[in-house]
């Protein structure tokens, strides 16, 4: 089978590795805007196309006789890449644009949840008029989140009590989004959700929904969950598929939200959702849906794909043809911890590209798995860019052991202008999260 992977991050490196583990004969091709050495090594041919350049990617796929495309990031899905590939007879693991709207438009997502009475939604309203947004914020009985409706590469959401000090700052930011056309120039004003975030991802073939282990990402740049938000500095999962603060009932509730959303998408758009559906949830007094993504999470993909035992190429093909069932999917019953090395200043003012050294052999000896992210390999050297650089994943019986493996492994990545969060997956941080949540829930 000839498979094309679109995207050049660690998520796509994990996708490529999982596909290559297939017992089937798979020939891998890739399309990415950077020169990710991990993906490049696994690929028979690479095109350095921008991930949203649908024409270039379709041409590359046709030229190489691609049978199945696995689309990593959201931007090409929102640009209609799956539709273009499907129109050329190429199967896709990744939804058509109509169904990808669940991520491409936060307004579409909230309206869908309201119309189909999907549990876990938040009080919200959308505006393209700054004065109306300001009046709504003034009258809102509590703190709000201000979210551009469209894609902003994970940088658009601001929350009162976090990035926004008060109502005045919330109103000013809503005005800025509208007047500067950020994410399409429309805002969703939403009730602020408090608690612990978790991610539940599911394989969806249009009808069947097969859930993966829950994962917790860490968005804040610095240890102790301090600093600005990033795309995610690292993540962990627990051996039973739950999380230290997440019960089976919580997991089942989140899965029901995903199932109902898949059914609603079919009803609303006439399109079957085929791909990975990612739900970001908040557990506070209740469980609320923060947002949906139309793809694997990054870094969450590295946790679940490292744990995946079954044939991922088969899973992708079954998703694309609408014939997936539970029996095709199994994960090892182990914990995982993923840690990202990033350039200093990542998320606000990243250090300029610089060479880093990655001792792959030493990382392997530590028992960890390495995934290259937004780096470029030039003349055998690895250079950082403005985004995340390299991820390592430790897998073990317990989160603590998996953390120790990841931490030892990450010591074999060296460079002057990089850093990582040492605390992700550490008992102290998890216990601090548990006590914060207990206090919030009055337990
Ligand atoms: N981990 C956050 C995301 O993938 O959007």
> Of 34, 63, 98, at which residue does a domain stop?
98
Radius of gyration (Cα) for the chain, nearest Å?
Answer: 21
Return the pLDDT at 153.
83
Which of residues 156, 191, 226 is at a domain's end?
A: 191
Q: How far apart are CA 130 and CA 134, in angstroms?
A: 6
User: Does residue 135 sit within a domain?
Assistant: yes
> Does residue 88 share a domain with residue 22?
yes
Closest Cα to atom 5, ligand 1: which residue? 297
Q: How many CB atoms lie within 10 A of CB 181?
A: 12
Shared domain for 9 and 90, answered yes or no, is yes
CA–CA distance, 360 with 370 (Å, rounded to integer)? 7
Residue 67 lies in a domain: yes
> Where a domain ends, among 175, 191, 207?
191
- E strand or H helix at 44, and its extent? none
Q: Are residues 94 and 130 in the same domain?
A: no
Q: Are residues 54 and 20 in the same domain?
A: yes
Question: Do 133 and 87 belong together in one domain?
Answer: no
Q: Per the domain annotation, does 318 fall within a domain?
A: no
For a substitution probing ligand 1, which of 7, 297, 373 has the most ligand atoms within 8 Å of its CB?
297
CA–centroid distance, residue 349 to ligand 1 (Å): 20
Atom of ligand 1 nearest to the CA of 295: 4
- pTM equals 0.97
Pair 17, 78 in one domain: yes
Place of tokens 């793809």: 295
CATH classification at residue 28: 3.40.50.20
Q: Which atom of ligand 1 is nearest to the CA of 297?
A: 4
Ligand 1 contacts (CB < 6 A) are 154, 217, 232, 293, 297-298, 300
The verdict on 88 and 19 lying in the same domain is: yes
Is 340 domain-assigned?
Answer: no
DSSP string, 223-251: TTTEEEE-S-SEEEE-TTSSBTTB-HHHH
Token pair 């050329």 is found at 88
**32 in a domain, yes or no?**
yes
pLDDT of 155 reads 80
**Spacing, Cα 63 to ligand 1 middle (Å):** 32
Ligand 1 center to 298 CA (angstroms)? 5
Show the domain range for 32.
Answer: 2-98
Q: Are residues 90 and 8 in the same domain?
A: yes
Residue 71 bridge partners (DSSP) = 6
Tell me 118's DSSP state. -
Asked if 86 and 7 sit in the same domain, the reply is yes
- The answer to whether residue 128 is domain-embedded is yes
Q: What CATH number does residue 138 fall under?
A: 3.30.1490.20
Buried b (16+ CB within 10 A) or exposed e, 223-254: bebeeebbbbbbbbbbbebbbebbeeebbebb
| Two tokens, residue 116 | 């189909």
Residue 134 and residue 63 in one domain: no
Residue 440, in any domain of the structure: no
Mind listing the pLDDT tens digit of every residue in the chain (443 residues)?
999 999 999 999 999 999 999 999 999 999 999 999 999 999 999 999 999 999 999 999 999 999 999 999 999 999 999 999 999 999 999 999 999 999 999 999 999 999 999 999 999 999 999 999 999 999 999 999 999 999 998 789 999 999 999 999 999 999 999 999 999 999 999 999 999 999 999 999 999 999 999 999 999 999 999 999 999 999 999 999 999 999 999 999 999 999 999 999 999 999 999 999 999 999 999 999 999 999 999 999 999 999 999 999 999 999 999 999 999 999 999 999 999 999 999 999 999 999 999 999 999 999 999 999 999 999 999 999 999 999 999 999 999 999 999 999 999 999 999 999 999 999 999 999 999 999 999 99
Centre of ligand 1 to C-alpha 135, Å, is 31
Whole-number pLDDT of residue 310: 97
Q: Does 403 reside within a domain? A: no
Regarding whether 129 and 75 lie in a shared domain, the answer is no
Same-domain check for residues 134 and 92: no
Q: What's the total number of domains in the chain?
A: 2
How many A from CA of 154 to the centre of ligand 1? 8
């Amino acid at each position: 089978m000839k498979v094309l992977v679109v995207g050049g991050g660690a998520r796509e490196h994990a996708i490529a590795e999982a596909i290559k583990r297939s017992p089937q004969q798979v020939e891998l091709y890739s399309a990415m805007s950077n020169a990710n050495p991990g993906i490049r090594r696994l690929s028979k041919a690479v095109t350095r196309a921008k991930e949203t350049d649908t024409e270039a990617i379709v041409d590359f796929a046709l030229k190489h006789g691609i049978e199945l495309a696995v689309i990593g990031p959201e931007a090409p899905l929102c640009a209609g890449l799956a539709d273009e590939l499907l129109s050329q007879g190429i199967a896709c693991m990744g939804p058509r644009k109509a169904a990808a709207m669940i991520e491409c438009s936060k307004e579409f997502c909230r309206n869908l949840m309201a119309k189909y009475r999907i549990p876990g939604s938040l009080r919200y309203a959308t505006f393209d008029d700054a004065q109306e947004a300001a009046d709504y914020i003034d009258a809102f009985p509590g703190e709000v989140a201000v979210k551009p409706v469209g894609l902003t590469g994970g940088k658009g959401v601001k929350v009162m009590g976090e990035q926004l000090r008060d109502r005045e700052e919330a109103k000013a930011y809503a005005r800025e989004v509208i007047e500067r056309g950020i994410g399409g120039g429309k805002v969703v004003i939403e009730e602020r959700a408090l608690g612990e975030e978790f991610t539940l991802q599911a394989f969806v073939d249009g009808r069947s929904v097969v859930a993966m282990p829950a994962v917790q990402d860490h968005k804040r740049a610095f240890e102790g969950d301090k600093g600005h938000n990033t795309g995610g500095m690292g993540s962990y999962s627990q051996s039973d598929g739950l999380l230290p603060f997440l019960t089976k009932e919580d997991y089942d509730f989140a899965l029901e939200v995903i199932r109902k959303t898949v059914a609603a998408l079919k009803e609303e758009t006439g399109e079957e959702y085929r791909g990975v559906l990612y739900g970001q949830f908040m557990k506070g007094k209740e469980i609320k849906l923060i947002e949906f993504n139309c793809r694997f999470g990054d870094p969450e993909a590295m946790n679940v794909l490292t744990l995946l035992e079954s044939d991922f190429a088969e899973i992708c093909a079954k998703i694309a043809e609408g014939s997936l069932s539970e029996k095709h999917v199994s994960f090892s019953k182990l914990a995982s911890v993923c840690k990202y090395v990033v350039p200093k200043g990542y998320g606000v003012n990243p250090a300029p590209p610089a060479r880093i050294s990655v001792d792959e052999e030493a990382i392997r000896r530590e028992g960890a798995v390495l995934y290259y992210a937004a780096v470029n390999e030039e003349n055998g050297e690895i250079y950082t860019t403005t985004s995340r650089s390299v991820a390592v994943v430790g897998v073990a019986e317990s989160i603590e052991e998996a953390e120790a493996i990841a931490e030892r492994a990450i010591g074999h990545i060296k460079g002057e202008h990089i850093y990582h969060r040492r605390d992700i997956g550490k008992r102290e941080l998890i216990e601090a999260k548990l006590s914060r949540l207990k206090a919030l829930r009055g337990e």
